Each structure stands twice: as structure tokens, then as C-alpha cells.
Amino acid sequence: MIEIKIDVKKIDKSRLYQGKQGTYLTAVLIPTPDGKYGDFMIVEGITKEEREAGKKGTILGNGKNLTKKPAEPPVSDYQKANDAAIEKALETNDDLPF
């Protein structure tokens, strides 16, 4: 789940368009993993021609990922000992034909 915050005063009204069920604005989420304000930056969508001309969409706000990533399960002492025993057996096994 991603929470977004948009400053609606920054929306260029000429970029709004009428759809079948309402008035829409195309916006783009740009990942900003080390961002000061969130995990995403939200910018107005622009045309291909504008992008090719070097124009960038107006920054409207930011977004934050609210879904926590699952933590890695801790490795038990039993598992560590078992892994060590397997490693030792593999290192000392001289019966291998290769």
C-alpha cells in the first residue's frame, strides 16, 4: 500500500482531461529510495514530445510505502550447527570420484 500526498495547487489545469467517468490527471510515481520526503516522488505526466525536448513534469508531491517488508526469519543455533556440520563433511570427504 502506498500513501500519496499531492499539492493540488500545483496541478496545471490544462493537463486535466475528461474521461468516461470523470476528470483525470496523468501522474507518474518515481522511486526515490533514499529520498528525504518519501519513497516516491509524484510528477505530472507529460507528453513524449515534451520528454524528448528535455522537459520534466511538475513535482506534485510524494508517496510513502506503508507496506512493511517481511523480515528474514532468524537462523536458529541448531540450523547454524547443522550448516557447519555439512560444510565440514563436504571438506573432509575424500571418497568423491572427482
Convert the pLDDT of each residue in 8-55 to its tens digit.
999 999 999 999 999 999 999 999 988 888 899 999 999 999 999 999
CB 64 within 8 A of CB 37: no
pLDDT at 97 over 80: no
Closest CA relative to residue 59, chosen from 18, 2, 5: 5
Domain borders along the chain are 2-65
Contacts of 39 (CB under 8 A, 6+ apart): 2, 31, 32, 33, 63, 64, 65
Name the percent of the chain lying above pLDDT 90. Answer: 56
> How far, in Å, CA of 6 to CA of 61, rounded?
4
User: What's the mean pLDDT in 69-74?
Assistant: 66
The overall pTM is greater than 0.85: no
Mean pLDDT over the full length of the chain = 85
**92 pLDDT tier (thresholds 50, 70, 90):** low
